[in-house]
Amino acid sequence: MKSMIRYLIIASLMLGWLGLAIAQPQTGSNVPAPGSGSGVAPATGTAQAVPTGTANAPATSPTGTAAPSTNTGGQAWYDILANKPIEEQGNFWLPRAVNKAADDSDLMYLSVLALSYFFFFAITICVVWFCWKYRHRPGHKAEPSAAHNDALEITWTVIPTIIVVFLFWYGWRSYIHVVTPPNKAVEIQVLAQRWNWTFTHANGVTDSDLHVPSGTPVRLVMTSTDVLHSFYAPAMRVKQDVVPRRYTYVWFEATKPGTYRLTCAEYCGTWHAQMACQKTDPHTNACLRRAVVVVHAPGDYERYLADKQAESDNLPPAELGKKLYEKKGCNACHTVDGTPRVGPTFLHDFGTKVPLSDGSTITMDENYITESLMTPQAKARPGYPPSMPSFQGQLKPKEITGLIEYIKSLK
């Protein structure tokens, strides 16, 4: 009996330590923030500061806090949000959940973790202590093992059974909730490709950052053009494989506006760790910013859709091309500073004669660029792996023109 009490005391001390670790605050910023030095989200141009009262007038923001719909310093307000440092909060174990359905799974995770800790320490301490207490020593007679003890055996069968059945029931209920999106969910198409994401919204707007409304369920319909990828947004507690020639789904309801991490969680080739890199350090090749999930304040998602559409309608071709170069993931393989990467650089390329794998040469012109976008392997260049994906059906004619004009501008 005394031993029982002693190990219970030790176990509760361990649990107390665990509780402290859980409560320990941690800033979730893991991505270096280009542009703004402070780790805390600055209030620059933050459309998220718009009070909910303006939700009915999404196109105009009379309050001074919201950035205007037009570009500010070359950056649209929604890109400023996307470029903000990651502002996940949380503790040692997890970033704070911003998905409504995540409360259940977090509770589940922590309960199972705490239970495991409890039994791990309780059993280990008993084993070590009994070994010491009943060890063979002079003057100590070995005690015969008990054949059985009904009270003990019933206790250690019934209590764990209740715990396990409860965990199963709770887990099953949460699982059904997590895989069943509500009917009124906003649907966003997701296309994964080596090495970027393309998010297509209901009005045709595409982006490589995922912009979503808050307080509204969002359902992602995902597929891949090449290999397995995995959509992973830790703060939303969603991780789902994205599979070629098949659709997979996740849904979440973001509870707090902000900028959150988004990563590919399935190894998909050379640039997997940098998938959807939006900005690379020209010297070290390190990724300075990857694609993110931007959760908008009420009303701002609609404003984003309208403004984003206007932007792609109004940009000069070369500027549109530059945007696409970053947004479509061209920058993962092609540099614009002269260094070859997975593919050839774009610098000083246009108008020159380039060698082909079959030994011939071709002039790098509008036709060659277009053909390389649609059927990349048709006239491949030697010394590079055949990993360029086809952009057939993914680029509008004016976007192709934009990319050509951008490459032209680099000559």
Cα dist from 334 to 86, 201, 268, whole Å:
26, 27, 18
Residue 83 and residue 60: Cα distance in Å, rounded?
22
Bridge partners for 252 per DSSP:
218
Nearer to ligand CUA, 256 or 279 (CB): 279
Q: Binding segment for ligand CUA among 42-50, 151-159, 233-241, 259-267 (CB under 6 A)?
A: 259-267
Asked if 272 is part of the footprint of ligand CUA (rule: CB under 6 A), the reply reads yes
Does 229 bind ligand CUA (CB under 6 A)? Our answer is yes
Residue 266 lies near ligand CUA (rule: CB under 6 A): yes
268 lines the binding site for ligand CUA (CB under 6 A): yes
Considering only residues 172 to 201 of the shown chain, the ones binding ligand CUA according to CB under 6 A are 192, 195
Q: For the chain, what is the radius of gyration of the CA atoms?
A: 28
| Interface segment toward ligand CUA; rule CB under 6 A; list 30-38, 49-57, 264-272, 377-385 | 264-272
x/- mask, ligand CUA, residues 22-61, rule CB under 6 A, reads ----------------------------------------
Residue 308 or residue 328: which is nearer to ligand CUA going by CB?
328
Closest CA to 258 of 295, 290, 291: 295
* C-beta of 210 vs 268, nearer to ligand CUA: 268
Contact by Cβ (8 Å): 108, 174:
yes
CA–CA dist 323, 169 (Å, integer): 49
State in angstroms the smallest separation of the CB of 243 from ligand CUA.
12
Q: Using CB under 6 A, pick the residue from 165, 267, 357, 371 that binds ligand CUA.
A: 267
| Joined tokens for residue 126 | 């008993």
Select from 17-25, 129-137, 263-271, 334-342 the region that touches ligand CUA (CB under 6 A): 263-271
Residue in 11, 102, 212, 275 binding ligand CUA, rule: CB under 6 A: 275
Cβ atoms of residues 109 and 95 within 8 Å: no
Pairing of strands 292-296, 210-213: parallel
Token readout for 387 is: 């990993």
Q: Are 263 and 290 in contact (CB under 8 A)?
A: yes
**Cis peptide bond N-terminal to 271, omega within 30:** no
> How many residues bind ligand CUA, per CB under 6 A?
9
- Name the residues that contact ligand CUA, by CB under 6 A: 192, 195, 229, 264, 266-268, 272, 275
